[in-house]
Structure 1
Amino acid sequence: MTPALTERTAEHRPATRTRSFRHDDLVAVDLFSGFGGLTRGIEMAGFTTIMAANHNAYKVEVHEANHPNAEHWIADLVDPESSDYHSARDLPAADLLVAGVSCTNHSQANTKRAYEHAVSLFDMLDPEYEERVTRSERDRATANCVLHYAAQHHPRMILVECTTELQSWGRLVPGSRKVGDGSTYRWWLKQFEILGYRHRVLFLNSRFFDVDQSRDRAYWVFWDKAIPAPDLDHRPETWCQRCDTVVQAAQSWKTGIPVTGSVRYGKQYVYRCPGCRDEVVPPSGYSLRSLDLSDLGTRIGDRERPLAASTMARAERCRQRFAEFPAVLMPAKATRGSERHPWQPLPTQTSQQEAALLSTGAVMQMANGYERPGSHCRARDLSQPLWTQPASPSTAVLTPPVALAVANFQGAPRGGDEPLPTQGGSETLGMLSARVLPNRTNGTSRGLGEPMETLVGSAGSGGLGLLSSGVVPFRRHTVPTTHAEAMPTVTSEQIPGLLTQTLAVGWLKQNGSSAADTAAHPLDDPMGTLTSRDTTALLAAGWLEALATVSLEDCYFRMMKSREVGRGCGFDVDFGQHQGTFKVWGSARDQVDGFGNAVSPQVGTWIGLRLRAVLHGMAP
């Protein structure tokens, strides 16, 4: 042990203001708080965090910067022999205790030989046990700090987060180096029952909470037996193709809820429509939203220091797997199966930088464009209902450019390839996207977000008409269809956003006296005055170059940035023009470690809202 660690003592950091709570203010304490994913989640749900504790000084400082009204402890909560030990029993009482207990040695990927002597933490008779069995069992003991706090303060509710492998906590299964038999885990649950709690275990993937990462975790919710059970069924609103409507999807287990080992979405459980029982896919986050597309890295052939042969081989394998995409997120290490195209969520982020971006150098963002292979396309014409919308922008209207005489409603709309009518000195033309058009001379053109004008006369007189576009083809060599035609067959290799023809997205003036004159405009803005000179241009987006069309040396490569990792983990960090609310600093390694070990705040909010619904209004 280094001298610095020997001299270290627990450090108390008071809150920046004196607490003064109303009678109905629900307060919480966060053990092993890290960057504060759970803290932020439950605060968004209406709880007030009064105290957070963690052994890592850097993470406590980041937590303190983002939650200055809570007091903090930099201390070891596990080892009574440590110089910086502070007992969880001595922390303040709260309505809710949250804890992201250590997952390092519960994870199958990192489990050490903790049970080589076929005993558990609660069978220790040998005083040198911990020296002989490594620190793995001590890491698992973080879950017992929750018991210590509960026995002392009996909070009305408790929320614990960990990897799903916590269920395997116990003696090593004979013949296995990584999987326990769950005996200690069952003992742990029994202690909460003795203390007067009921509980439920939730298996949730962060991708279904508008997080751009596929992160399978388990959440243990305990509540006092005198409190009504909270509603903890995850029923995301999801489009069912067979029922042709939005349904509340239900978790469906393939072989029953596992009692030990790992639990993963798609392997142990899926979501199904409660009506027809077809498998459905809830709205999901996707990695493209978290990528900084202003920096695609360096062309591989131009790198001063060539990539290692193993990295080049891995990049080529990923390029071939996602040959029709313009980019792919590839593993920086030799892990197979973790590569993703940008319309899929990030793989589970750990404490290390493990992903790199490989691209053709041209990537266009298309929101919410990916669904797993085998699912049904959710592109719809304007006569169909939208799918369930997440909190972030995820839907767009695709339309062709149409010229309309604004000042003369007897002028017929024209397609983008038709000549414009003769222009006068006034602004008489506009570019339409999808709009409601008057079929009569006394009507007004309206956008889809505006109320329609009053319809008079018989239905047959046709006062209004709808100008819209068709369904976008997903693959090359397919023909666009109008909303009146059948959609082309969608295969299991849906390629959203890779379009064969140029699509108009706006217009701009090539010269002018001010920034407003030359700014880009959407298609439904009227054009400026058209003169005898060619001054107006059309902005367009076209076919994206796929990875298969370029050599590996012509592709661009870079590692994911720490801020991208943070956004992918659900934190509101600075990103491009966006000024995030989450404060973070330090080396990329430290930031990635903090984000990778954090709980997705959005999942904490979802659970916290359901806990608060039960506690709100009850006497403290």
Structure 2
Amino acid sequence: MRAIDLFAGAGGFSTGAVLAGCRVLWAANHWPVAVEWHAANHPETEHECQDLQQADFRAAPAHDLLLASPACQGHSPARGKDRPHHDAQRATAWAVVTCAEVHRPPVVVIENVPAFSNWALYPAWCAAMHALGYALAPMVLDAADAGVPQQRRRLFVVATRSRHPIELQMHQREHRPAAAAIDFTAGRWSPVQRPGRSARTLARIAAGRRRFGARFVAPYYGSGSGETGRSLDRPIGTLTTRARWAVVDGERMRMVLATEGRELMGLPDGYLLPANEATAWHLIGNAVCPPQAAQLIEAIRRAA
């Protein structure tokens, strides 16, 4: 299958497509940094850096599979109070409709947070896709069920040019523990009892010790996994665009490294990321987990 990737980020969706045997012909994103790192990992793909709401999609090559991850920040419950820029972020989903109208590929797969379906214009967006001849099969999938060591629930809308929505057989894979990705010999550690550590963080760590022992992970910003953290024997909680998970090892702790985040996302070993941790996390947190994307595309191919 020939694929293109809109809002491609660092290339998680593209990588999953390649794992599923697709050729990713073209990838586009508005952020030059994302395009740079997508190109570093997918040099065979043609790249475009521009605002996709203003794009002329006639420049994109013909394709069988359109992949798209429009901005999720305007839909995520974690966004806080609505602001004008959230309207602009939500509107990026219309670029998918525009591209589908130009090319009419047999399959379109859209990824976003589950709250995308709560968008006031989601029914209108679905109606626009229906008007183009697509039947829609929305499904919420957890990356952990695809063998990724992270619990990450995302909405995938599979649009096919068919009379009825596609029916997919998705087999749950064994869950992988977060421990598989954590290197206790790496990183810069600091004492748990360091001056200035918040009382809430210390209380969360104390609760985690009582429940999990000396080693576990805990959300350093926000609650995420409640007030006790999370066992390393299960997948980590959802990764975001900042390093928000801490690793606790006895009396020391540090943030999860971007290189560990790469594995926790299911990106291949050696997948190139920026040296700057903040930039790397921004790319990681916006990505699609490749094993999950590959599993979905393989299921689509079997059902076609």
Mapped partners of 2:284, 2:189: distance in 1: 26
Distance apart, 1:558 and its partner CA: 1.2
Mapped partners of 1:69, 1:231: distance in 2: 32
Choose from 151, 170, 177 the match for 1:234. 170
Aligned to 1:516: none
Match of 1:330, SS? Answer: strand
Aligned to 2:259: 563
Match of 1:109, SS? Answer: helix
- Please show how residues 291-330 of structure 1 align to structure 2 within 5 Å: 291-295=182-186, 297-298=188-189, 300=191, 306-310=194-198, 313-323=200-210, 324-330=212-218
In the alignment, residue 67 of structure 1 is paired with which amino acid? H
- The Cα RMSD (Å) is 2.1
- Counterpart check, 1:347 vs 2:284: no
Choose from 13, 31, 52 the match for 1:77. 52
Alpha-carbon contact 2:141-2:153 (below 8 Å) kept: yes
Deviation per CA, 1:263-292, whole angstroms, max 9, x where unpaired?
xxxxxxxxxxxxxxxxxxxx2122101101
Aligned to 1:285: 176
In the alignment, residue 342 of structure 1 is paired with which amino acid? L
Alpha-carbon contact 1:231-1:610 (below 8 Å) kept: no
Deviation per CA, 1:494-550, whole angstroms, max 9, x where unpaired?
xxxxxxxxxxxxxxxxxxxxxxxxxxxxxxxxxxxxxxxxxxxxxxxxxxxxxxxxx
In the alignment, residue 166 of structure 1 is paired with which amino acid? F
Mapped partners of 2:189, 2:81: distance in 1: 39
In the alignment, residue 103 of structure 1 is paired with which amino acid? C
Aligned to 2:277: 588
Mapped partners of 1:67, 1:299: distance in 2: 37
Aligned to 1:222: 159
CA distance 1:187–1:564, shift in 2 (3 Å) = same
- Counterpart check, 1:193 vs 2:130: yes
CA distance 1:298–1:222, shift in 2 (3 Å) = closer
Mapped partners of 2:93, 2:146: distance in 1: 25
Alpha-carbon contact 1:54-1:74 (below 8 Å) kept: yes
Normalised TM-score (structure 1): 0.46
CA distance 1:297–1:135, shift in 2 (3 Å) = closer
In the alignment, residue 196 of structure 2 is paired with which amino acid? A
Aligned to 1:333: 221
Match of 1:141, SS? Answer: helix
Aligned to 2:75: 106
In the alignment, residue 565 of structure 1 is paired with which amino acid? G
CA distance 1:138–1:89, shift in 2 (3 Å) = farther
Aligned to 1:611: 300
- Structure 2: 5+ residue runs without aligned partners? none
Aligned to 1:438: none
- Counterpart check, 1:168 vs 2:118: yes
- Counterpart check, 1:93 vs 2:69: no
- Please show how residues 412-561 of structure 1 align to structure 2 within 5 Å: 555-561=251-257
- Structure 1: 5+ residue runs without aligned partners? 1-25, 81-85, 115-133, 171-183, 238-282, 361-554, 573-579, 616-620
Distance apart, 1:599 and its partner CA: 0.4
Which structure is richer in relative contact order (CA contacts within 8 A, separation 6 or more)? 2
Mapped partners of 1:111, 1:87: distance in 2: 33
Match of 1:30, SS? Answer: strand
Deviation per CA, 1:302-338, whole angstroms, max 9, x where unpaired?
x8xx34241x542343233442522121222242635
Alpha-carbon contact 2:13-2:289 (below 8 Å) kept: yes
Distance apart, 1:142 and its partner CA: 1.2
Alpha-carbon contact 2:218-2:247 (below 8 Å) kept: yes
In the alignment, residue 63 of structure 1 is paired with which amino acid? H
In the alignment, residue 95 of structure 1 is paired with which amino acid? D
In the alignment, residue 35 of structure 1 is paired with which amino acid? A
Alpha-carbon contact 2:137-2:165 (below 8 Å) kept: no
Mapped partners of 2:104, 2:224: distance in 1: 45
CA distance 1:585–1:319, shift in 2 (3 Å) = same
Alpha-carbon contact 1:212-1:345 (below 8 Å) kept: yes
Mapped partners of 1:356, 1:110: distance in 2: 22
Alpha-carbon contact 1:105-1:111 (below 8 Å) kept: no
Mapped partners of 2:45, 2:188: distance in 1: 40
Alpha-carbon contact 1:104-1:111 (below 8 Å) kept: no
Q: Percent identity?
A: 26
- Please show how residues 139-288 of structure 1 align to structure 2 within 5 Å: 139-170=89-120, 184-225=121-162, 230-236=166-172, 283-288=174-179
Structure showing greater radius of gyration is: 1
Alpha-carbon contact 1:45-1:612 (below 8 Å) kept: no
Alpha-carbon contact 1:350-1:596 (below 8 Å) kept: yes
CA distance 1:335–1:582, shift in 2 (3 Å) = same
In the alignment, residue 82 of structure 2 is paired with which amino acid? R
Alpha-carbon contact 1:315-1:358 (below 8 Å) kept: no
Match of 1:137, SS? Answer: helix
Aligned to 1:23: none
Match of 2:109, SS? Answer: strand
Normalised TM-score (structure 2): 0.92
Aligned to 2:86: 136
In the alignment, residue 207 of structure 2 is paired with which amino acid? Q
Match of 2:232, SS? Answer: coil
Distance apart, 1:560 and its partner CA: 1.3
- Please show how residues 105-124 of structure 1 align to structure 2 within 5 Å: 105-113=74-82
Mapped partners of 2:60, 2:81: distance in 1: 31
Deviation per CA, 1:90-121, whole angstroms, max 9, x where unpaired?
4222111000111001001105435xxxxxxx
Mapped partners of 2:222, 2:8: distance in 1: 31
